[in-house]
Amino acid sequence: MTFSNSLLRQLAFINGKWQAANSGATYAINNPATGEHIADVPDMGATETQLAIEAAERALPAWRALAAKTRSQILKRWFDLIMANQEDLAQLMTAEQGKPLAESRGEVAYGASFIEWFAEEGKRAYGDVIPGPTPDRRLIALKQPIGVTVAITPWNFPIAMITRKVAPALAVGCTSVVKPAGVTPLCALALAELGKQAGLPDGVLNIITSAHASVVGEVLTQSPIVRKLSFTGSTPVGKKLMAACADTVKRVSLELGGNAPFIVLEDADLDAAVVGALASKYRNAGQTCVCANRFLVHEKIYDAFAEKLQAAVAKLVVGNGADEGTTIGPLINAAAVDKVERLVNESIAAGAHVAMGGARHALGGSFYQPTVLLNVSNDMPIAQQESFGPVAPLIRIRDADHAVALANDTSAGLAAYLYGRNLQQLWSVAERLEYGMVGINEGIISNEMAPFGGVKESGLGREGSKYGIDEYLETQYLCLGGMSDR
Ligand SMILES: NC(=O)C1=CN([C@@H]2O[C@H](COP(=O)(O)OP(=O)(O)OC[C@H]3O[C@@H](n4cnc5c(N)ncnc54)[C@H](OP(=O)(O)O)[C@@H]3O)[C@@H](O)[C@H]2O)C=CC1
Ligand SMILES: O=C(O)CCCC(=O)O
């Protein structure tokens, strides 16, 4: 193993201590660009998961009793340490996940921003004093931390998906157990190291590493100690976890799959739309749940948009994310390439035309060519399923109503994008889109200030923003009587 990094940790983190699996078992973490073996981490199971939950439970009373400002100061130190280590974290992320270094640096800052944001918001978990029904009573709505929380996170954003869940939890006085994706635990462990340096007390943040997600997941979802689960990942797994949480009636937040339409209306600024399309579609090689999944382009500007998009896509550089100049890294693994290949081939068989790419990349491994498909219809597999790959399928639309009908013809409802110039039309189309988030003349919509989340089968709850903190708070009602002698 030749990989080295100041933040490389190869043990899990429970109750403030670095821990091996009870059995001593480990599993390998490999670089998806090179196949290089970069680390081994503990393959933990039910017993260690239970220990992590109990550590979070023990840490809860003291942590929630701290002044919000004290928790905020610790979180601010954590934020500062993450930013001070931005480069090492980015190197670690590119090594385990594959995204280009520039994107990894961006994700470190994006991930850290949730800690900074919620360090502030945690101080503002205001309740209410409510006018009572009679003069002798005072009605008070208190905001209380929900308790022990769990975050199950995906591999596509190894830092930001953790901080977006953990930061609001910790800020309001909850404690947390995190199960990062099996293939990207190293960033999670690095975050824990920096959290420890920042002064997070033992047990407030725990990281379980495991190659047996369903075993860990069962303990996390069945535990009566855990009061809240927040999950980002695939829709089928999200549904399973939601069902599993029913037994103990946990609060659940879900960020699941999308099928984002990218609508280009007749009057759109095509150059701006191409810039937005590139950012939205090809970020992280197409592996985000908010990536444009299908382009709904007005028939009058379809050819012009397609031409401009192809010219821009031709400039993308596929390669190892660690190499200078790479703009598209590998997909996460062989199964991801198989899925993209299948969706593209089935769509070609159904009549789609390959304008660019359309196949695996000559680099081999899990690299796939940036692809543009023309003459696509909304019923083709590439438009019906989330591709999670660098493929832009272009569908012709007749008008805005047609675009809305096609856009809403899916069980998903996470992000949508809309390009045009007529503000009244943009507003009216946006309101008719059954999506939790709509980018209007904008291809990148995520930031810590905005409420991120979906409708329909794309999920429940919102992350980031002033709304994200509510997911970790219970409203407790106090009714104070006996006030009549005033
Ligand atoms: N909405 C989004 O942001 C994401 C969507 N996806 C979609 O899902 C597809 C498959 O990706 P994949 O990584 O398999 O997504 P999963 O939903 O399987 O993984 C997300 C997280 O859930 C964990 N997990 C999986 N099964 C269970 C279980 N039974 N109990 C508890 N935790 C579990 C995973 O662990 P482990 O990694 O160890 O299996 C990981 O930490 C992608 O191609 C994409 O379409 C994927 C990632 C993110
Ligand atoms: O793909 C995801 O899992 C959501 C993260 C994307 C973002 O925050 O923009």
- Residue 454 near residue 412 (C-beta atoms within 8 A): yes
Calpha distance 72→435 (Å, rounded)? 33
The preferred substitution site among 332, 452, 462, 465 for testing ligand 2, maximizing ligand atoms within 8 Å of CB, is 452
pTM of the model: 0.98
Q: How far is the CA of 4 from the centre of ligand 2 (A)?
A: 28
**Ligand with smallest separation from the Cα of 332:** 1
Hey, which residues are catalytic here?
255
What is the whole-number distance in angstroms between the Cα of residue 133 and the centre of ligand 2?
45
pLDDT confidence of residue 484: 73
Q: What is the DSSP string of 242-309?
A: HHHHGGGT-EEEEE----EEEEE-TT--HHHHHHHHHHHHHGGGG-STTSEEEEEEETTTHHHHHHHH
- Ramachandran angles phi, psi of 295, nearest 5°: -105, 125
Question: Which pLDDT score is estimated for 173?
Answer: 98
Angle at 174 between CA 171 and CA 175, to 5 degrees: 110
Q: Please, are residues 142 and 475 in contact by the beta-carbon 8 Å criterion?
A: yes
Q: Distance from the CA of 244 to the center of ligand 2, in angstroms? A: 24
Residue 351, Ramachandran bin (φ over 0: left; ψ between -120 and 50: alpha; else beta): left
Q: How far apart are CA 366 and CA 409, in angstroms?
A: 31
DSSP state of 200: P
Angle between helices 186-198 and 160-171 (to 10 degrees): 30
Q: For a substitution probing ligand 2, which of 446, 449, 458, 465 has the most ligand atoms within 8 Å of its CB? A: 446
pLDDT at 464: 98
Task: Answer yes or no: are the C-beta atoms of 118 and 469 closer than 8 Å.
Answer: yes
Task: Give pLDDT < 70 ranges for the chain.
Answer: 1, 485-486
- Residue 284 CA: nearest ligand 2 atom is 1
Model pLDDT, residue 1: 63
Nearest atom (ligand 2) to Cα of 445: 9
Which atom of ligand 2 is nearest the CA belonging to 287?
1
> DSSP letter at 201?
P
The whole-number pLDDT of residue 292 equals 98
Nearest CA to ligand 1 atom 14: 234
Q: Look at ligand 2, atom 6, and give the residue with the nearest C-alpha.
A: 288
* Residue for token pair 């399309």: 277
Q: How many CA atoms lie within 13 A of 19 on its CB side?
A: 23
- Specify whether the CB–CB gap between 258 and 270 falls below 8 A: no
292-314 pLDDT, tens digit each? 999 999 999 999 999 999 999 99
213 Cβ closer than 6 Å to some ligand 1 atom: yes
Nearest CA to 2 out of 27, 34, 24 is that of 34
Query: Which pLDDT score is estimated for 333?
Result: 98
pLDDT at site 486 = 58
Q: Which of 157, 161, 232, 237 for mutating ligand 1's site (highest number of atoms within 8 Å of CB)?
A: 237
